[in-house]
Amino acid sequence: MSALSDRPVDPAVGLPVPHESAILHATGRAIFTDDLASRTAGVLTAWPVQSTHAHARVSVLRTDGALGVPGVVRVLTADDVPGINDSGIKHDEPLFPTEVMFYGQALCWVLAESTEAARLGADAVQVEYEVLTSVVTLSEAITAESFQGETRTVRRGDADAALAEAARVFEGESEVGGQEHFYLETQAALAQVEDDGRVFVQCSTQHPSETQAIVAHVLGLSSNAVTVQCLRMGGAFGGKEMQPHGFAAVAALGALLTGRPVRLRLTRTQDLTLTGKRHPFHASWRVGFSEDGLLLGLKATLTADGGWSLDLSEPVLSRALCHIDNAYWIPAIEARGRIVKTNKTSQTAFRGFGGPQGMFMIEDILGRCAPLLGIDPAELRRKNFYAPGQLTPYGQPVRHAERLGAIWTQLVHSSALARRTEEARAFNAASPHLKRALALTPVKFGISFNFTAFNQAGALVHVYKDGSVLINHGGTEMGQGLHTKMLQVASTALGVPLSAVRLAPTRTDKVPNTSATAASSSSDLNGGAIKNACDQILARMADVAGRMLGAHSQDVRFTRGRVSALGLGAGQDIGFAEVAGEAYLQRVQLWAAGFYRTEGLYWDQKAMQGEPFKYFAYGAAATEVEVDGFTGAYRVRRVDIVHDVGDSLSPIIDIGQVEGGFVQGAGWLTLEDLRWDAGDGPGRGRLLTQSASTYKLPSLSEMPDEFNVTLFERATEDGAIYGSKAVGEPPVMLALSVREALRQAVAGFGPAGHSVELASPATPEAVFWALTAARAAVEAEAPTQGTSGAERAPALTDT
């Protein structure tokens, strides 16, 4: 086992400790970015003037009216930008645009003494437009050939030949919608200018270093003149990886020009209309099977709706292509990916980062083809699992592939699959208007950033003379428990009690050039950096302790705040604080900068070949649902999950992440229906689901009656921090079992062998139309299998 994954005696990692800010959250004492504004004197508020067209040229922008509103101090426009008028990493996102690219885009920002004055000032700004042709839906963009970015292809073998030789061939289309992040805390920033001209920005951001870089280039400053700090976030889910940069830049620009602090905090409707979502995807596909249901070949084209600019659409698409196989061996595959440009918000990172959309496609294919093959869906999935020694389509060995089968077997037993399946059959036979079904789906999710350079992290660890410890690292806390895990890592590495370690806010002037807190890699990266820093300090302290104990430094042990040496009797140990104090007197350095880089990664982006992931996280879920044949309404009766997190760093945190990820995935697949006005009227391109009253989020009423989560045991991941595995994103895809269970329940209303077409999100309305089609198939007694070379599985329509 590697030194990185080896756990010492009596470690703090692995203990079920609560979230480090749990009490602060529960009592309302936790400070978030916008809370700082009330503690800062002379703060101005920024308010956007938003476009009322999806695509138009701004012909006139009159700001005089705003300046006449009492309390308005200034209106920020493109003319005020001293640096580069762009907030994107691709230089395709003007901060103050002259060409409107989506309905609701911010054209300029009003600064005022109060929120109300800023709002009234924005209402007083007059804008005249030259309306241009707009592309709103994904299907419109495909027809118009409105593409952006690079086209990528993952390829292995000869897919055309495999399909020509396959005994059974099916073709179809699949489409999955986007998803709103709907974090509790909206986008927020507070900017101030220090006495020496340095700009200090407090921001709700997952990527402080990139926020720093964007603010600097907008202001025409170098990075060392800008400091970005993130205290904590009230949720993010990927929505604060790229999206905060422009808002932080607006606040910083306002502070620079007025000499006063500027706060920018979006209302919920502003946040929904200004920020990007999960990418909707469309796929057309042909798939071939052997007579006994083994996958032989797949040819697919995936199209992602990127919105008005590229943002992170290219790496999202790449990850989708790298996860279209999910847990299944496909001998011959050709999956092509492309991105369309539409006049909507720029779609961005969202938990799973394209992985969920890729997995959705193969699970949709298997779910639709299983009845046509006459094979139970769970069995079709199991028999196509990767086996040890096999490679992904992009050439990476599927290490620990045997865990897929082990997890599946454990889940089959723990969920009582056989018994409950028979109970559901008996229930369905006696119930013409209610149908139940139980579905199992697996997950194989690659862990690491697509962009190899991002797989690095830094940390700064201080040991003080009294033995207390302060840690800084480059990761940000959005409620996911990263800080809790890092406290446990530092406590374990230094051999001190958890109570002796504190954590400082994430700041770019403490740990520079950090990667985003994303890709489920933050514990791996920042944990490795913290351990590296702690190991440096401990090596120095061991020399001091060895002299104090009369022992060799290699024999010194640090445990529970006590320092001992091999061969010494009981009672001869000394306190960690005593050693720290003596180290100071001996002028021994008690702080260290740690660094970690993920080894063994290689990725050729153009060829889409290599080993982009450190390891795979595995899991499986079994979901039982009940569907009402009159309305399409349904309820989730029970969920059982077995998930692989390696040796958990913090079990309570990890179980919470599995539960939360599953629920968020279920929301994406069954409830959360983004709607845009695609008509030709004046509201074309307007987001219609602008609040919680029109956008349905999962609530307690959607929770399963019974929810069982088990962490897979004996799963040490060698080469990862203390043998753990990432947990943030993989559980989202476990929710595919909910959609597949709904499909199987709907099939209960149709004839044997009926392939169910189910839109996504599978809202009660979508389920109702699916079961209506199933009943129609009974009446028509339509054949379920063709005899020609290709059989048409139902294709999803554009919803």
Any idea which residues carry the catalytic annotation?
Answer: 729
Could you tell me if 141 and 342 are in contact, meaning their C-beta atoms sit under 8 angstroms apart?
yes
Q: Alpha-carbon distance 725 to 710, whole Å?
A: 15
Could you tell me if 717 and 5 are in contact, meaning their C-beta atoms sit under 8 angstroms apart?
yes
791-792 vs 168-176, strand pairing mode: parallel
Q: Which two tokens stand for residue 337?
A: 């990916």
Residues 6+ apart with CB under 8 A from 312: 241, 242, 348, 349, 353
Q: Which two tokens stand for residue 449?
A: 């950033």
Q: Which of 80, 781, 794 is nearest to 368 (CA)?
A: 794
The most distant pair of C-alpha atoms in the chain lies apart, rounded to whole Å, by 90
Q: What is the DSSP string of 150-215?
A: EEEEEEES-HHHHHHH-SEEEEEEEEE-------SS--EEEEEE-TTS-EEEEE--S-HHHHHHHH
Q: Alpha-carbon distance 205 to 194, whole Å?
A: 21
Cis check: omega of the bond before 761, within 30 degrees of 0: yes
Length of the chain: 799
Q: Which of 11, 3, 2, 56 is nearest to 493 (CA)?
A: 11
Q: What is the DSSP string of 280-322?
A: PEEEEEEEEE-TT--EEEEEEEEEEE-TTS-TTHHHHHHHHHT
188-193 vs 199-203, strand pairing mode: antiparallel
Q: Which two tokens stand for residue 148?
A: 């952006």
Alpha helix stretches (DSSP H) within 436-514:
482-494
Could you tell me if 328 and 359 are in contact, meaning their C-beta atoms sit under 8 angstroms apart?
no
**From the DSSP assignment, how many helices (H) and strands (E) are in the chain?**
19, 30
